């Protein structure tokens, strides 16, 4: 039986982050989820240029502390930008059971 892709569960599963593609797919879900909760992050194609939308995503990923806290609190994911390598690092924190 083929199981449907559950973005929410996959974004929380450490196995997803074992591949670059999985990590990026999970990050896409996390960004969409966060931006959907924020009125100031809504995208309106009829009022925003492509550059404005790209700037919104870039600023959210790199500088929005609330986004980073949201990713850490809800998905236990750290997102860091390595300026030297020009790479976005996505690190899934391990879940520990008491």
**Coil, strand, or helix at residue 59?**
helix
- Please report whether residue 52 resides in a domain: yes
Q: What is the mean pLDDT of residues 13-21?
A: 90
Do the domain assignments include residue 20?
Answer: yes
Q: How many residues does the chain have?
A: 98
Phi–psi pair at 96, nearest 5 degrees: -110, 135
Both structure tokens of 36: 């959907």
Task: Tell me, yes or no, whether 22 lies in a domain.
Answer: yes
Domain range enclosing 18: 7-92
The predicted pLDDT at position 4 comes to: 57
pTM score, two decimals? 0.81
Q: pLDDT tens-digit profile of 70-81? A: 999 999 999 998
Of 55 and 96, the structure prediction assigns the larger pLDDT to: 55
| 2 domain residue, yes or no | no
CA distance 14 to 25: 13
Q: What is the mean pLDDT of residues 6-32?
A: 91
At 2, is the pLDDT very low, low, confident or very high (cuts 50, 70, 90)?
Answer: very low
Q: What is the DSSP letter of 41?
A: G
Structural domains counted in the chain: 1
Residue 88 lies in a domain: yes
Q: Three-state SS for 52?
A: helix
């Amino acid at each position: 039986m083929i199981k449907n892709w559950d973005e929410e569960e996959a974004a929380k599963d450490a196995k997803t982050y074992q591949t670059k593609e999985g990590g990026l797919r999970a990050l896409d879900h996390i960004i969409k989820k966060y931006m959907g909760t924020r009125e100031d992050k809504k995208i309106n194609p009829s009022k925003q240029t492509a550059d404005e939308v790209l700037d919104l995503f870039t600023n959210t990923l790199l500088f929005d502390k609330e986004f980073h806290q949201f990713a850490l609190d809800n998905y236990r994911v750290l997102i860091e930008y390595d300026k030297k390598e020009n790479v976005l690092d996505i690190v899934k924190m391990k879940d520990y059971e008491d």
